Chain A
Amino acid sequence: MQYSRRSPPFALQRRHVLGGALATAAAALLPWTPVFPVEVDADQAFLALSILLTGRNNLDPALGRRLRQALQSGNDRLDQHTTDLLGLLETRKVPLPDLQAILATEKTAFAALPGQIMTAWYLGVVGKGPQAKVLAFEHALNAVAVSDKLKPPTYAYGAPGSWSHNPNA
């Protein structure tokens, strides 16, 4: 954990003040209950935003760090955009079902970020076209979300015939 209670001036660019629901999301990552608002570093902010967007509060921080670094290679303003998007969600209390429409309408600089973060977590893919990279396969959230029913492709389902059983039983 990169959590720090102090806020040295030189690190302001990498720190984010969170409150309300966002702080709750971030706090879920912490081993103790902080006094709000909390200050977190860029990895924590990225994870807090990821928790809000994915709706999952048990994201892997190590994978989150790798995803953030990969996203940064295509967007050197990623951390600022993360802060801005967190701010928008927090200050305006934007309901998630309305997020895409609002971003499209307002044409913000970070309009593409939620989709990129969701793609990174759910498909394990960062980037587009020839620049696209895979950072997760069996730990991509779309594999995790159905892991009680399906194995990721290339993983053995089980002994021959095990797939004949009713998956709903």
Chain B
Amino acid sequence: MAQTLSADFVVVGSGIIGALVARKLALAGASVLILEAGPHVTRGELVARFRNSPRRSDWMSPYPPAPWAPHPVYQPEDNGHLVHAGPYPYKAEYIRQVGGTSWHWAAHAWRNVPNDFRIHSLYGVGVDWPFGYDELEPYYQEAEEIMGVSGAPNTGSPRTKPFPMQPVAEPWAMQRLRERLAPVYPVVGNTTARNSRSYDGRPPCCGNNSCQPICPIDAQYHGGLAVDAALAAGAKLQANANVFKLEHDGAARITAVHYYDPDKVAHRVTGKTFIVAANGIESPRLLLLSQSAKFPQGLANSRDMVGRHLMDHPSTSLTFDADEDVWLGRGPQSPSSINTMRDGEFRARHAPYRLDFTNISRVDGATRALLAEGVYGAEFERRLRHSAAREMNVKNVLEVLPDPRHRITLSDQKDALGLPKPQTHYSIDDYTRAGHVRSQQDFKRIAELMGGTNLRFSKDGDFANN
């Protein structure tokens, strides 16, 4: 044991959740220590990595895993950290570094809609939550004011207080969608943690169009900022501390955590209260790893429920060419969507969904397509400009119901530290597939309203995760 750290509250994981909890506890006067498996990486370094990446559309490319804190990456090769037991591979991506995975999110900061909390009572599917929207509403507001959230007023989530700022200006392409899809579909601004004005010491969005994988100016909120705020409030941070075991006493109270540093030297950290906030895959993995004579199946797992009900919001999509030049890539990446299919009686039969329009520049994708086709000469540039100006994409964002068969377990395979890797058991059920099928009607109608040609649906049976 190289050293012993201690705090009133020990938080495992430095993502938005762990860091916001740490901040609040520190502001209340508690001693707080955040343990993060991965390293501290600066925004400037991430921007440089992105610009120097040969895989600019691989949003994990600026975030290679540290050897002592592996996370899954799939390009240029699958590093095998996440083992897929099937039947459907769940190629989740997450980032183990200070600040966590929201370094490369699109800043979507949606509230649920009230009926999400009662889907079993209302629609006979899934389960009801043990509390309702109204109880959660003040916490939504608190988080939104910390993060700097804006959005449209009519997305189905009522508010008792206004957003802390006005929406980010609408890109031209989204304006054209809104105008041409009305009145069939109301296209509204997304609810996002992206500054439309200077806020909390950060600038407004300047349309850098690299929200994923990295906002170069911190106009977009992320977990690194949450960590900064926690540290400013008095919390301590230990980076490069890969927690692999929770230790309990005879009364089954957690008394310490153990972590490996980059040299695989084990350290023990004591505390009064421990908060595991290491994401939906590494959190259950840690509980399952924390086996003892008293708890041979891991902690909090006497009912074999740890790691079960693995859920995501998968997507299928349609790409098409509009009949006018809209030039995606001006402004933020993910500005607008259609929210009318998020709730309704249909939820008894198929998954609800949001329809999301990308504003990510098409330039790199169009370039790769032309290179693959073998186009040369002036024709290349002509077609590149055509695709960059006209390509549009709409995707669904589908609900997944809780299913105990979808779960995280420990694999027989070991990672570089000798710890069992996380293993997924996952599939796309009929409810979610039916939502996908229903959304195809919307895809086609949207393309039609935009004068769309060259319709390219995502490969049948392929569901992207988000």
Contacts and interface: CB of A to CB of B under 8 A. Distances in A.
Interface string B374-392: 1011111100110011000
A77 interface: no
B208 A157 contact: yes
B76 A154 contact: no
B172 A129 contact: no
Contact of A157 (B55, B325, B330, B366): B330
B169 A150 contact: no
Given A123-B364, A142-B363, A146-B384, A158 B76 contact: no
A145 B384 contact: yes
B363 A96 contact: no
B77 interface: yes
Interface of A: 52-56, 96-97, 99-101, 114-115, 118-119, 122-123, 125, 127, 129-130, 132-134, 137, 141-143, 145-146, 149-151, 153-168
Nearest to A121: B380
B405 interface: no
Nearest to B171: A163
B60 interface: no
A151 B384 contact: no
Given A54-B380, A145-B384, A163-B171, 6 more contacts: A96-B377, A100-B374, A123-B364, A130-B77, A142-B363, A149-B389
Contacts of A168: 324-325
A161 B363 contact: no
Nearest to B195: A160
A164 to B, nearest CB: 5
B54 A160 contact: no
B172 A153 contact: no
Interface centre among B172, B325, B366 (most CB of A within 10 A): B172
21 contacts: A52-B377, A55-B378, A55-B379, A96-B376, A96-B377, A100-B374, A125-B54, A137-B51, A142-B367, A150-B329, A151-B209, A154-B51, A154-B209, A157-B209, A159-B206, A161-B169, A162-B207, A163-B169, A166-B172, A167-B330, A168-B324
A49 B101 CA distance: 44
B352 to A, nearest CB: 30
B463 to A, nearest CB: 26
A134 B51 CA distance: 8
Nearest to B384: A145
Contacts of A99: 374, 376
B53 interface: yes
A165 B172 contact: yes
Given A54-B377, A154-B208, A157-B330, A149 B388 contact: yes
A12 B207 CA distance: 52
Nearest to A117: B376
A163 B172 contact: yes
Contacts of B385: 145-146
B272 interface: no
